[in-house]
Structure formats: structure tokens, C-alpha cells
Amino acid sequence: MSIAVTSAGVSATRAPVRVGELALGLSIAAFLLVFVAWPAVAVTYVAFTEKGTGAFTLINFQDFARTDLFVRSLWNSIYVGAATVAWASVIALPLAVLTTRFSFRGAIVIQTLGFVPLIMPPFVGAVAMQMLFGRNGTINLLLSDWFDVRIPFMEGLNGVIFVEALHYFPFILINVSASLRNIDRAMEEAAQNLGCSGFRLLRRIVLPLAAPGYMAGASLVFVKVFDDLATPLLLNVKDMLAPQAYLRITSIGIADPMGYVIAVVLVVMSVASMGLAALATRGVDYATVQRGGGGIARRSLRPAESFAAYLVVGFILLLVLAPHIGLLLLSFATVWSFSPLPDALTTAHYVRVFSESGVYIKNTILYASLAGLIDVVVGTAIAWLVLRTKLSFRHWLDWGATAALAFPGVVIGIGYLRAFYDVRLFGGAPLATLWIMIVLAVAVRRLPYALRASHAALLQISRSLEEAAENLGATRQRAVRRIVLPLMTGGILAGFVTSFATAAVELSATLLLVQSNSDAPLAYGVYVFMQSPAGRGAGAALGVVTVIIVCACALLAQFGIERSQNAKGALQ
Amino acid sequence: MNRFAFGALLGIFAVQAALAQAPTGKVTVVTSFAKDVTDPYKKAFEKAYPGLSLEVQNRNTNAAVKFIEETKSANATDLMWASAPDAFEVLKGKGLLTKYQLKAQGIPEKVGSYPINDPGGFYFGFAASGYGIMWNERYVRANKLPDPQEWSDLSKPIYFDHVAIAAPSRSGTTHLTIETILQGEGWDKGWRTIKQIAGNLRQVTDRSFDVPEQVNSGQVGVGIVIDFFAFSAQAAGFPVKFVYPSVTTVVPANLAIIANPPNRAGAEAFVEFLLSPAGQEVLLEPSIRRLPVNPAIYAKAPADYPNPFKDPRFTKMISFSSEKSEQRTDAVDVLFDQMITFQLAGLKAATKSIQAAEAALDKKDNVQARALIAEARDAVAAMPVSDVQAGSAETRAAFTGAKEKTARQAEIEQRWSAFAKEQYAKAQAKADEALKLTR
Amino acid sequence: MRPGPQSDGRHQAAGVEISGVNLSYGANHVLKDVELNIEPGEFFAFLGPSGCGKTTLLRLIAGFNVADSGEVRIAGRDIGKLPPWKRDVGMVFQSYALWPHMSVRRNVAFGLEERRLPRAEIAARVAAVLDLVGLAAFAERKPSQLSGGQQQRVALARTIVTEPKVLLLDEPLSNLDAKMRVQVRGELHDLQRRLGITTIFVTHDQEEANAICDRIAVMSDGVIQQVGAPRDLYARPANLFVANFLGAANILPGIVTTRDGVSVFDIGGGAFLPIPEDAAIPQGASLVFRPQDACMAPAHQGEPGLDARILSHEFLGSIVRYRLRLGGADVLVDTPFHAGSEILSNGSTVAFSLMAKAGVWLEK
């Protein structure tokens, strides 16, 4: 989709609404309606119908409120979401501050590896976590051997919080780091000049200035945790909303609307929390309006401080990369059972997956790239409409795209089948069976990542750069293409990487839409191999392959970002 | 992949199939079976029918059912291939299966007490599996647990917090086991047994293969599983053991042709192949290790291979009423979930108190305490509904998308779970009181 | 294709006519009935304090704001409905708005590329304009690698290379240091003369406007207060705002009375100033004059004048500015300072006199 702004003379002034903007806005609205709203409504309308008669009713929501289990699940989900945000902050904030405030060689390691926790294929990551932190995982076996104690890392709600915090903290890290880099140095210097320093400076000036980035990241974490079902299910926690919805929707023969009622509640809660975050940061988006920012001053560390910093970073990295370390061990393990480490190592699992992984890898890269592409195109267009036009429904586009994040993958999966299976192509093949539908299903759920990234990037581009181009004879369309898009490259790429990486490990929607092995992505392959009762080795091996490939692509993109940042220079 | 071309190809193949005797083309099968099972079959089948290729779509059973249901308007699937009989019942109930008259010879009517094929001729058992107990040797040794032998062992206090089972609502085979216990012991006594074991549960998993997985990795000591999970884990070298209790259930794994299959001849060929001696023999492979439904095949099996047609443990089982089972499928699943899966914390707390009180009682007897403990056990075992109610039309209607306005599932669930919660709290209070009396 | 700019080196200078322009942002009436006629080839300034609407008016000419009513014509053609990219009006932004991802050369070539000129011509014209602004050696640099003054020249080069009909400069000197500012404004003036292009310059600095502009429109509160050549505005401000905004001014309220048969201006405290015979002084007007238009001499020298007392003084290099108590009012008087001049001490008494025709009477 191109940024289709016409240069028709009639509406060519900066009047409230112009034909091109309207066309772009409407086509995005149509995209969201067809690929998000329709499938979602096709599934969830049941939540509003009366049993037997099919008439509209809210009785199901009353049932929700009257059922202890659901109410308990709701509160548990809120608690876990909030506590995860808190713990993820504990991990992410020191890393963000360390990497942006100090000239510290570990910074590049954190910026590179800090992203990796987001890339974890389904099932295997959680299994690997159990091998390390479970009741009889490495740590607890050692602890009980040495001290006869066990730490319940992975028990109950707190276990969910522990795993989720390790998994999702990068959302906060990425956003806060970006905010910190954009703070005008003079802000900090002014405070120092007035006698404020050290932690007080951090607390009173630096962190408040980074608040918008923090809120953006924190709300993403909250929503993702709220929506995540794999982790609670693995930890055997069922009284949370997302697992309840999933268990009900996917149980055979259950024709109960409650699963969809919960899905609706999930969506409402997610949109509300995103909205709250936006409300909380309204008018306090200081970091981005400063000119000549250049980021806060970097200090070099004294040897002792440096040592402490490396210690903190090393510990945190070890913790957050534990699932990957576990996965790696699992993929090379012959047998790993009730022992701190595998009995022996082997490459047999890699040999086994090698011959079949080619088609999965190809499909994954194709699907995830396309999904990322769709996300950045739509996300950038929405960001542009929101920030640069006065289109009356532009905020609805923003909210609509954000709501997609909250739909459980399985709802989208069933919704796509229901909505598109009866749409026939030439020759009678249903639309839903095209592999592009997998791409779309995966893409819409990641749209908010790209949208947020593009939004942030566009906020930082002075309007006058666009006007200068128009003044020199470039139409709006050309000004966007030649000036705005190149300058947004960094943000767009960041959005692409996030969408790409998370799309590459998506399973829940994929599982329903994959039509044949030749169309299947890696996540599906991992699932197939993981089902083997003969151990998790093959699935883990394919998981490692997935992580490596996704990381390689992400690093490539990161490299691209840095080059574009360098090209941009310090004028911004 | 170009679906259009694919559709066109299928059309051509269909024409060719009509012209030639030997079926050709692609046979698409949706299955919940792991690659360990499907790969050897794919190889053997394609060798036996050179004109056919087997396209395996791996989905979990629930997703497979949903998929077939959602895609019925232009069905592209030939076969459904999975364990859980209830999934086939659902498909059959929705008219999504094709009736087929089996040609294969030598398959008896029943394995154990369970009928192998659907009496209506819509789906067919191709393998049997027995339920049993699997445990991790290292775990058991480290926790000083005895090797379990019988179902009743699992309700002993020593196994508290060491047992795992899949939720019957999520695992058709587990559902069958629960139903077998209920039919064998009767509704109230059966649930009492189930809840006694459940009081020792560490986990109720939402996927069948999570149980062997947890036992394999040593996160849980003992699991209630289908035999082949344990056998193939053993084949892979995991330190696990498996035992059939003296009364076990046999569950068949099934196969059915979907309604309006794109390649009917190919689908029929696959059904016949699976039930032919050659197809049955594939089951003996170490990575599969399932029990053939053709008794003649056991002659070729290794010496220690369990034979459900001869082994007394399999034949001991009381006769099983499919009709009864079918009537209350949803009720049993929901009861299990509402009383056990989602109330596990309460149930375990009550069980722990009862076990503590009983242990104290063994040291110092007290009549009053004994009575209290009995009351506590009764409270745990109490059921919100009788078997007649559970199988009644009203209850059934609440769980199905009935055309009439009936009680809503959520209402019934809330009632049952509130009942269980209250009973568990009561039981715990009584057991605690009993414990005090023995001091 | 848009009308291509002439490339004969000299511009066909175009006049700008603005008539009856009004613009509101909600309840905020930003431009009120603006009427302006800018001659072809003129160097024109919009001068006023921040918030007076001068930049809004400039952006309106460029097409970034749309008037609620009124017309903007360039070379007689109404451009009010044209989008910015069809107006052929060059604008240099206050922030320069150089594109950080493009080299100096690419920045400058942009407008020509948008006009789809042949590549060779683009290269030649870019080279020529970079020569003109003295940046030929910096063509491959990124804007971030240039100093403020160099960036300013790139912004200018980028605009003039397209040979627009009108050149708009939005506070182009505000990001430069004091010395640079003086130098660059000289260069701007020379360049404008050489190119002969109609130029509109927005500034809040009257000295800047005076130095280089042919005519100035002084704006306040969305209203054009006065239009004229710098010296006319300075000497004959149309109202108190203009008088005050264009440099230091003495504004003395008073009343016209007759004393000894002669009309005089009574500023209170027993001080009476003479009124020129031909002056028609409106009721309630104030006398306005510049500090350098008054004279003072030590009282003992016997010069004619009114008695005044020195309250304080500031030494400003070429002049000394005294604050005097004259009757009931305070008055500023500048006297030239030469080597060897004496500075009178505070408290001493002087004789104050006003040069003939120096004062104007303006209504409040």
C-alpha cells in the first residue's frame, strides 16, 4: 500500500480534510475492519446472544460477574499483569539507565541481547525454563543438595510473574532507552546547576522525562501478560483470564459462550489499559519536543563502579537468557531428567530436524517478513494520519489497530476461518486456505508494535522538514517519500524487527490456519516435533534454529538502524 | 502455494481416480499424532500405494475438530486420525463424517471391553492403548516413594503432590479412563476414588502429552498416561517405568473419513491400509509402540509386548456402556474441571489436613476424631449431582448449543464449583478439628 | 508540469498583493484584514514582536496556512488555492529545516529534482549556487557537519537555486551569534540585490529590518500598523506602537495650552515645550521624539532651553544616554561621545531643547 496522497488541485491546501488523506484513512479503516473487526466479531458475537433464541443479551456478562472462577481469574490477571510490570521494570530500568547514561562497553551487549528474550518459540521456552527453575530444575536440585531448600520460582501466580517478567521486560527496556536518548542534555545540566545530582537527579529529572517511553512499554507489557496463555498453562495456573478463554474456546464439544465473553473482557481490559497509559502521558511527552537533544550526558565509570555494573548486567543477562541457555542444553541433551544437567550431549536432534527445517525456515522468513512489512506500512500510515492530518476518525484507526493486540490468537485463528473460508477464489479454493491469510492473522496482532515505533519516530521529525520539501516543489506524497520516510527509517526498522521477531514465533493463530506442511512455519514445526513423547530434543533443536535465524535477521535490521542513525547525524 | 492450481490438480486426480482402478493423488489427513507415529505410516503407505501421497496436517485434537467444522463448506480434508473417541463422536454428531463399510478382515468386535469400531460405521479403531501409571525412577528414588502398582496406591498420603493427570475435558483418552472408573465403581464411589487420587495431584495438565513430558523431565514423579507415551520415552532412554494396574482401560485410537472428502478413493485406501496386516504391523515400531487391533499381529511382536486380547488385566474390565458415557460426557468433564481442575488448591488443602489427621490417628486412636475424619472424607466425596441428573436431558441441554432456551452452562458451573468449594472447606475444618483431638 | 522557473539567471521579479486577509484559529483572530502591496524586486520585512502574526502571514504566502477570507496574488495571479508545492515561493525556515539524511548537494538539488530538470542542468545549477554562497567545498558534507552560518547558507542556497518568484525568510538570522548576524545580513542584502528577487523577511529585530530592507510592515496583534521605508517609520511613526517598537523613543503625554499668546505643549511640572506653527495636534496626544533629537547643555553655559536635572546615564560607546527629569516627566537624551568628551555627573542641571521638527504628536 502506498501513501496515496493525491495532488488534486481542488483540495490541495492544508484544509481540514483532503481527498488523499481521506482515501488513505478509509483504506486503512477497511483493512482493520476486514482483517481485525470482522473475524473478531464473527467469533465473539456469540457472547452477546441469548442461548436458544439468539437474541441480543448481556446475560452472559452477568454470568461472568456471578461466577467465582471468572472473577477470581480477572483479579489474578490484573495482579499478575501489574506485578509483572513492576518486576520487568526492576530488570529493565537499571539496564536502560546503565546503557544510556554511562559510556560502558557492556551497553552494546545489552542493546543486542536485551531483545532476545522476546524471541522464544512456543512450548520449548517454557519447558527449558522448567528444566532450570522448576521444582526439580537445575537450580532447585542443586539447592536441595547443598542446603536442603527449594525456591518456588515457578509456583502459582508468582511463578507466572517471574517467567513473564523475564520474557517481556524488553518492551520496557527498548522504550525507556529510546526516551532517555532523546532527553535534552540541557535538562539534566540545568538540574545539576541547581544542585541536584546522583540518584536525586535520576529520580527527579531523568526518569520523569523518560516517563512517556516507560508508560508505552509498561502498557505493552501489561497487555501482553494479560493476553498470554502459554505461560500460565505451562505453570499449571488456570485461574487467569487468558487461559480460561483458551481452555473454553478450544475444548471439544463445548458450545458455551463464556469463552467468547472472556475474550471480549480481555479486549476491553487491554484497550482500557492502553488508553489509560495514553491518558497518563497526555501532555507530558516532553522528551520528543526538545530540539538539539543529543541524549543525556554519558559518564565514564570508575573501575569499581565498572566492575559493579558488569556484575549487575551479567547477572541480569544470565537470568533473562536462562530460557535460551536451557533451550540450547535441551537441544543437545540425550536424556535430561531429574538432574542438574543433561546426562550426555548429542547432535542427533539437529540431524533429525535438519532435513525438514528447510521448508519451515523458508516459510517463517517469508511470513514474518511479510507480516513485518504489512505492520510497518499500515503502522506508519496510521502514525502519519494521526500526527499529520486532521482526519476525524484518525484516532479510531489508532485504537482499532491497538485492539488487535488484545485478541487471543486462537480467536483470530477461528475468526479467520469463519470469516474467510466461505470467500471463494477462482476455482473454488477458499480464501482462508491461502498462506497469505496466515501472514495477515499474524500481522494484525503485531500491528501495535510497528504503530508505536512509527509514531515515536514521526513525533521526532520536525514538521518544517516536510514543509521545506513542499515549499521546494515536492507534493505531500513526495515529501513523505523523500523526507519523512527516510528519516523514520530507524523507527520503522525497530517496529519491523519487533513485528518480525514475534511473528516468527507465533503459534496460536497459525495452528488453525496452516493448511499443509509445505505452508507451515517454524513455530508449527516446533510444535509438531515437541509432541513426540520421546523427549523434547528435536523440538528444542528446531527452537534453537528459530532463535538463531530470528536473531540474525533482527541483528541485520539493527545494523541497518545504526547505519541510518549515523546517516541522520546529530542535527536532530 | 497456489491453491487454485492445487484445486485444479485435485480435480484432475479425481477424474483419473474414477477412470483407473488404483487410487492416485494426495490424501490429506488431519491428525493429533506426533511425527513419530505419522512418519513411519507415511512411508509405509506411500510404498504400498505408489500413486498416493499422504499429506499430514498436524493439529491438536480440538483444533482439528474446529478446523474441520469451520472448513466444511469446501472441505479439503480426507481423514481425521486421532486418539480421542469423543472427538469423533462430536464430528459424527455434526454430520462431518462419511459412513464406510470396512473390507479388512480379522478385526474382532471388541478390545478389552471397548468396542473397536463405531457401531454406526463412521469411525474405526486401528490401534489400542492401555492406561497405566508411569513414573520417573530418579524422582521416585530421590523422594523415597514406593513404586506404584495400582490406582488405589495413588491415593496414599505418600504420593501427595507427586501425581499428574491430563484434564478429561482436554484429553479424550483421560476422559475415557475417568468414565471407565465411574462405570466400574459406580457414580458416587467412582468419584470418591477419583477425588482421593486428585487430592494428591501436583498438576492437571491441559494436553495429554504434558503428563509424560513432566514425568520424563522429573518435574512430576508419577503420571497417569497411555502406555505408548511411556514405551516411547523408555525407547528414547528416559529413566521411566510403566505399569498397567490390575484393572486397566483400553482406549482405541481412531480413524474416520470426513464428509465430502476430496479424494475418497485415496481416503478409503488409507483406512484399509491401516487395518491391513501390513498397516497393523507398523504399530510395533519402537517409536510408536501401540497395540494392534488385529490379534494375529501379536505373533510378530517382541516377547514382552502386552496383548490386550490375552492379558487378563485388559479383559477384567467390566462391560462399558458407550451410550451412558455419551449422555454425560460434558457433565463428567465439567464436574472434573469445576471440582478438581479449578479447585485443586482447596481440594489439596482438605486432603492434606485429612492425611495429617489420619497419620496422627494411627499413633493415637480417638473415636471422635475417627468419626470427624470419616465426615471429612464424605464431604470431599460429596457430589452436587447424581448420575441420573448428570445424564439427564436438562443437564445435557445446558452444555450443548441447544435450540431452546435452557439453563446456561455458566450457571451450572458456578453452582457446582461453589458446592465443591464449600465441601472442601468443610472437610478441611473437620479434619483440622480431628487433628486437634488426637493431640 | 508546473510552470518551470526561468533559468536566464535574472528573475522576472514578481509583486505580492495581499488583500483583505483574515485568519483565525478557533476564537483566536490571528490576522485581521491584512492589506499589503509588495513591489516586484523589493526587499520587504514583516516586523513585530512574537505572536504578532508575522510568521503566520509568511506561511500563508507559502501555502502552509489557509486564509479564512481574502486573496494572495503573486504577479497578479491568485495563489490562495494552490498547494505549497505549486506556488513557486521559496522559503528559508527559521530552523533551516535541512534534511539530515542528505548531503549538502542533495539538499540543494532537491527542488530541481522535483522539477524534473535534466541531470546535467541540476548539477550545474547546484554547483553554481554553492559557489555563490561559498560552500562549494562542503557539497558532500552532511548538514550536521556544518556550522550554524554554513547551515544557514545551505538553506538559502537550497531555496534560491529553484529561482522562486518570491523568497520568504523566516527569522533567518535568529540562530546565529551577534557578529555572524551582521555579516550574514549584509550577504543577504547583496544577494538579494544581485538576484533582484522579491524577498519577504520576517524578524522581530528592528535593527535587522532597518539595515537591509527597502520597506517594512510593522505588525502587532494581527494588524499591520504601518508600512513604509525604514527611515520614514523611524522618523514618522504612525502610532505609539510603531514609535516604541522601532528603537528608543520619548513619549510625553501632555496638553496643548496657550502661554504668552503662543501655543505650547504642557507636559506638567511647569515644563512647556514649543509647538511648530503648522502642527495640528489631536486632543490627548503625546509628544514623541527620539533621544538623539533632543539637545542638552550644562546650565552654566547659558544655552537656551528648559531646566532639567540628570537622573542617571548610560555609556553606550558612541553615545552617552542621559535620563533627565524634565518638569513632570523623565526624558532620554543622547549626546555623541568623542575621545575627550566629558560625561556630566548625575544631579547636575542642564538646559534641554528639542530640535526643530523633531517631534511628532501621536494619539494613544
Does any domain span residue A6? no
When comparing pLDDT for A471 and C284, which is higher?
Answer: A471
d(CA B285, CA B272) in angstroms, rounded, equals 19
pLDDT at A86: 95
Q: Among partner residues A52, A336, A534, which is closest to B406 by beta-carbon distance?
A: A52
Interface residue B281 vs chain A (CB under 8 A): no
How far is A479 from chain C, CA to nearest CA, in Å?
Answer: 10
C37 with C163, same domain: the answer is: yes
Residues of chain B with Cβ-Cβ distance to A527 below 8 Å are: 58
| Residue that the C-alpha cell 545539576 belongs to | A192
What confidence tier does A296 reach under pLDDT thresholds 50, 70, 90?
low
DSSP character at residue A345: B
C172 with C256, same domain: the answer is: no
Closest by CA to A368, choosing from A557, A229, A563, A530, is A557
Does any domain span residue B316? no
Q: If you average pLDDT over residues B61-82, what whole number do you get? A: 86
For residue B183, give the amino acid letter.
Answer: Q
B228 with B333, same domain: the answer is: yes
**Does the beta-carbon distance from C91 to A465 stay under 8 Å?**
no
Q: If you average pLDDT over residues A279-287, what whole number do you get? A: 61
B207 with B348, same domain: the answer is: yes
How far is A471 from chain C, CA to nearest CA, in Å?
Answer: 5
**Statement: residue C1 has pLDDT above 50:** no
How far is A16 from chain C, CA to nearest CA, in Å?
Answer: 10
Residues of chain B with Cβ-Cβ distance to A334 below 8 Å are: 237
How far is B138 from chain A, CA to nearest CA, in Å?
Answer: 6
Residues of chain C with Cβ-Cβ distance to A472 below 8 Å are: 85, 90, 110-111, 114, 158-159, 162
Out of A374-388, B124-138, C88-102, which region has the weakest mean confidence (pLDDT)? C88-102
Report the number of distinct structural domains present in chain A: 1
pLDDT at A184: 66
The residues with which B57 forms a beta bridge, in sequence order, are B30
Report the range out of A488-497, A501-510, B287-296 with the highest average pLDDT: B287-296
Residues of chain A with Cβ-Cβ distance to B4 below 8 Å are: 425-427, 429
Distance of CA C70 to CAs A77, A442, B128, C77, Å?
Answer: 60, 52, 90, 13
B336 with B235, same domain: the answer is: yes
**Within 13 Å of residue A226, how many CA atoms lie on the same side as its CB?**
30
Hey, which chains touch C, using 3+ CB pairs under 8 Å? A
Closest chain B CA to residue A246: B206
pLDDT at A533: 65
d(CA A81, CA A226) in angstroms, rounded, equals 6
Q: Do chains C and B touch (3 or more CB pairs under 8 A)?
A: no
Closest by CA to A502, choosing from A464, A565, A453, A462, is A453
Closest by CA to B419, choosing from B346, B321, B357, B367, is B346
Residues of chain B with Cβ-Cβ distance to A532 below 8 Å are: 34-36, 232
Closest by CA to C51, choosing from C73, C29, C76, is C29
When comparing pLDDT for B322 and A470, which is higher?
Answer: A470
**Does the beta-carbon distance from B217 to A127 stay under 8 Å?**
yes
Boundary of a domain, candidates C229, C245, C261: C245
Out of A448-462, B192-206, C13-27, C324-338, which region has the weakest mean confidence (pLDDT)? A448-462
**Does the beta-carbon distance from A471 to C88 stay under 8 Å?**
no
**Does the beta-carbon distance from A567 to C101 stay under 8 Å?**
yes
pLDDT at B165: 95
The residues with which B31 forms a beta bridge, in sequence order, are B58, B81
C239 with C351, same domain: the answer is: no
Closest by CA to C203, choosing from C213, C189, C194, is C213
Query: B250: which residues sit within 8 A by CB, 6+ positions away?
Result: B111, B112, B113, B114, B128, B129, B130, B131, B291, B308, B314, B317
pLDDT at B439: 75
Does any domain span residue B221? yes
d(CA C163, CA C221) in angstroms, rounded, equals 33
C65: domain CATH number? 3.40.50.300
B422 with B292, same domain: the answer is: no
C219 with C268, same domain: the answer is: no
Q: If you average pLDDT over residues C19-40, what whole number do you get? A: 91
Q: If you average pLDDT over residues A73-91, what whole number do you get? A: 94
Please give the residue range of the domain that contains residue B44. 3-128+251-308
d(CA B290, CA B128) in angstroms, rounded, equals 6
C-alpha grid cell, residue C316: 553606550
**Statement: residue A182 has pLDDT above 80:** no
Does any domain span residue B386? yes
**Does the beta-carbon distance from A468 to C144 stay under 8 Å?**
no
The residues with which B115 forms a beta bridge, in sequence order, are B110
d(CA B156, CA B146) in angstroms, rounded, equals 11
A562: domain CATH number? 1.10.3720.10
d(CA A525, CA A516) in angstroms, rounded, equals 11
C63 with C202, same domain: the answer is: yes
Q: If you average pLDDT over residues A195-202, what whole number do you get? A: 73
C121 with C61, same domain: the answer is: yes
Q: Among partner residues A14, A482, A571, which is closest to C100 by beta-carbon distance?
A: A571
Q: If you average pLDDT over residues A162-177, what whole number do you get? A: 87
pLDDT at B154: 93
Interface residue B12 vs chain A (CB under 8 A): no
Report the number of distinct structural domains present in chain B: 2
C348 with C229, same domain: the answer is: no
For residue B340, give the amino acid letter.
Answer: I
C112 with C56, same domain: the answer is: yes
Q: If you average pLDDT over residues A206-215, what whole number do you get? A: 80
**Statement: residue B280 has pLDDT above 90:** yes
B387 with B406, same domain: the answer is: yes
What confidence tier does A156 reach under pLDDT thresholds 50, 70, 90?
confident
Does any domain span residue B317? no
pLDDT at A259: 83
- As a whole number, the mean pLDDT across chain B is 86
**Statement: residue B10 has pLDDT above 50:** no
Residues of chain A with Cβ-Cβ distance to C90 below 8 Å are: 471-472
pLDDT at A571: 39
C81 with C200, same domain: the answer is: yes
B363 with B234, same domain: the answer is: yes
The residues with which C218 forms a beta bridge, in sequence order, are C47, C226
pLDDT at A570: 40
Report the range out of A186-190, A432-436, B234-238, C134-138 with the highest average pLDDT: C134-138
C36 with C119, same domain: the answer is: yes
Residues of chain B with Cβ-Cβ distance to A260 below 8 Å are: none
First to last CA, chain B: 74
d(CA C290, CA C243) in angstroms, rounded, equals 9
**Does the beta-carbon distance from B409 to A256 stay under 8 Å?**
yes
Closest chain B CA to residue A51: B405
Please give the residue range of the domain that contains residue C228. 16-245
Distance of CA B94 to CAs A249, B76, B101, B127, Å?
Answer: 18, 17, 20, 24
Does any domain span residue B95? yes
**Could you report the per-residue pLDDT of A261-275, keeping only the tens digit for each?**
888 888 888 888 878
Does any domain span residue B315? no
pLDDT at C339: 85
Give the E-state strand segments of A3-144 in sequence order. Answer: 102-103
**Statement: residue A12 has pLDDT above 50:** no
Does any domain span residue B82? yes
When comparing pLDDT for B111 and B135, which is higher?
Answer: B135
Closest by CA to B235, choosing from B184, B185, B285, is B285
C261: domain CATH number? 2.40.50.140
B233 with B351, same domain: the answer is: yes
B96 with B190, same domain: the answer is: no
Does any domain span residue A443? yes
Closest by CA to A124, choosing from A345, A330, A342, is A330
Report the range out of A299-313, B318-332, C183-197 with the highest average pLDDT: C183-197
pLDDT at A561: 67
C350 with C270, same domain: the answer is: yes
Query: A563: which residues sit within 8 A by CB, 6+ positions away?
Result: none
Report the number of distinct structural domains present in chain C: 2
Boundary of a domain, candidates C227, C245, C263: C245
**Does the beta-carbon distance from C99 to A572 stay under 8 Å?**
no
Does any domain span residue C8? no
**Could you report the per-residue pLDDT of A312-349, keeping only the tens digit for each?**
888 888 888 888 999 999 999 888 888 888 888 888 88
Hey, which chains touch B, using 3+ CB pairs under 8 Å? A
**Does the beta-carbon distance from A337 to B65 stay under 8 Å?**
no
**Does the beta-carbon distance from B330 to A137 stay under 8 Å?**
no
**Does the beta-carbon distance from C84 to A467 stay under 8 Å?**
yes
pLDDT at A428: 67
**Statement: residue A291 has pLDDT above 60:** no
What confidence tier does A253 reach under pLDDT thresholds 50, 70, 90?
low
Interface test mutation site (partner A, options C77, C99, C167, C169, max chain A beta carbons within 10 A): C99
Interface residue B329 vs chain A (CB under 8 A): yes
**Statement: residue A5 has pLDDT above 50:** no
pLDDT at A255: 65
Q: If you average pLDDT over residues C352-363, what whole number do you get? A: 81
Does any domain span residue C354? yes
How far is A246 from chain B, CA to nearest CA, in Å?
Answer: 10
Beta carbons of A144 and A339 less than 8 angstroms apart? no
C96 with C155, same domain: the answer is: yes
B233 with B288, same domain: the answer is: no
**Statement: residue A427 has pLDDT above 70:** no
Out of A18-22, A188-192, A231-235, C201-205, which region has the weakest mean confidence (pLDDT)? A188-192
Beta carbons of A532 and B38 less than 8 angstroms apart? no
Query: C340: which residues sit within 8 A by CB, 6+ positions away?
Result: none
Does any domain span residue C120? yes
d(CA A285, CA A264) in angstroms, rounded, equals 31
B75: domain CATH number? 3.40.190.10
Does any domain span residue A288? no
Q: If you average pLDDT over residues A96-118, what whole number do you get? A: 78
When comparing pLDDT for A183 and A378, which is higher?
Answer: A378
Please give the residue range of the domain that contains residue A516. 25-44+347-572
When comparing pLDDT for A61 and B321, which is higher?
Answer: A61
Does any domain span residue B429? yes
Does any domain span residue A237? no
Helix (H, G, I), strand (E, B) or coil at C354: strand
